[in-house]
Structure 1
Amino acid sequence: MSESVLVALRGVSFAYDEGPPVFTGLDFEVREGRALALLGRNGSGKTTLMRLLSGGLRPGSGELSVSGRVVRHDRKGLTALRTTVQLVVQDPDDQLFAASVGQDVSFGPLNLGLSDTEVRARVAEALAALDITALADRPTHLLSYGQRKRTAIAGAVAMRPRVLILDEPTAGLDPDGQERLLATLDGLRANGTTVVMATHDVDLALRWADDAALLTPSGVHTGPVAGTLSRRDLLTAAGLRLPWGVAAGLFLRAHGVGADTDVGPRTPEELAALAAAPEYRDRRPG
Structure 2
Amino acid sequence: MTEPALVALRDASFAYEEGPAVLSGLDFEVREGRALALLGRNGSGKTTLMRLLSGGLRPRTGQLTVQGRPVVYDRKGLTRLRTTVQLVVQDPDDQLFAASVAQDVSFGPLNLGLPDGEVRRRVGEALDALGITALADRPTHLLSYGQRKRTAIAGAVAMRPRVLILDEPTAGLDPDGQERLLVTLDGLRAAGTTVVMATHDVDLALRWADDAALLTPQGVRAGPASVMLARPELLEQAGLRLPWGVAAAHALRAQGLLADTAPGPRTADELAALVAAATAARTPAED
TM-score class, shorter: over 0.9
Q: Could you tell me whether the CA contact under 8 Å between 2:4 and 2:68 is conserved in 1?
A: no
Alignment-derived partner of residue 145 in structure 2: 145
Q: 1:105-254 counterparts in 2 under 5 A?
A: 105-254=105-254
SS in 2 for 1:17: coil
Q: Which amino acid aligns with 2:225?
A: V
TM-score by length of 2: 0.96
What displacement does 1:282 show?
A: 4.4
Q: Which amino acid aligns with 1:224?
A: P
Per-residue deviation, residues 162-197 of structure 1 (Å, max 9, x unmatched) = 000000000000000000000000000000000000
Per-residue deviation, residues 62-89 of structure 1 (Å, max 9, x unmatched) = 0000011100111111111000000000
Q: Could you tell me whether the CA contact under 8 Å between 1:36 and 1:195 is conserved in 2?
A: yes
Q: Could you tell me whether the CA contact under 8 Å between 1:3 and 1:31 is conserved in 2?
A: no
What displacement does 1:281 show?
A: 3.2
Matched, 1:283 2:282: yes
Q: Which amino acid aligns with 2:80?
A: A
Alignment-derived partner of residue 59 in structure 2: 59
Number of aligned residue pairs: 283
Q: Could you tell me whether the CA contact under 8 Å between 1:13 and 1:26 is conserved in 2?
A: yes
Aligned-partner Cα distance in 2 for 1:60–1:11: 10
What displacement does 1:3 show?
A: 7.2
Matched, 1:97 2:97: yes
Taking only the aligned residue pairs, the percentage that are identical comes to 81
Q: Could you tell me whether the CA contact under 8 Å between 1:37 and 1:199 is conserved in 2?
A: yes
SS in 2 for 1:99: coil
Aligned-partner Cα distance in 2 for 1:264–1:4: 32
Q: Which amino acid aligns with 2:217?
A: P
Per-residue deviation, residues 100-128 of structure 1 (Å, max 9, x unmatched) = 00000000000000000000000000000
Per-residue deviation, residues 193-250 of structure 1 (Å, max 9, x unmatched) = 0000000000000000000000000000000000100111110000000000000001
Q: Could you tell me whether the CA contact under 8 Å between 1:3 and 1:33 is conserved in 2?
A: no
Aligned-partner Cα distance in 2 for 1:118–1:159: 11
SS in 2 for 1:5: coil
Q: Which amino acid aligns with 2:280?
A: R
TM-score by length of 1: 0.96
SS in 2 for 1:281: helix
What displacement does 1:255 show?
A: 1.1
What displacement does 1:5 show?
A: 1.1
Q: Could you tell me whether the CA contact under 8 Å between 2:257 and 2:275 is conserved in 1?
A: no
Aligned-partner Cα distance in 2 for 1:31–1:86: 15
Q: Could you tell me whether the CA contact under 8 Å between 1:245 and 1:263 is conserved in 2?
A: no
Structure 2: segments with no counterpart, 5+ residues: none
What displacement does 1:261 show?
A: 4.6
Q: Which amino acid aligns with 2:189?
A: R
Q: Which amino acid aligns with 2:249?
A: G
What displacement does 1:263 show?
A: 4.1
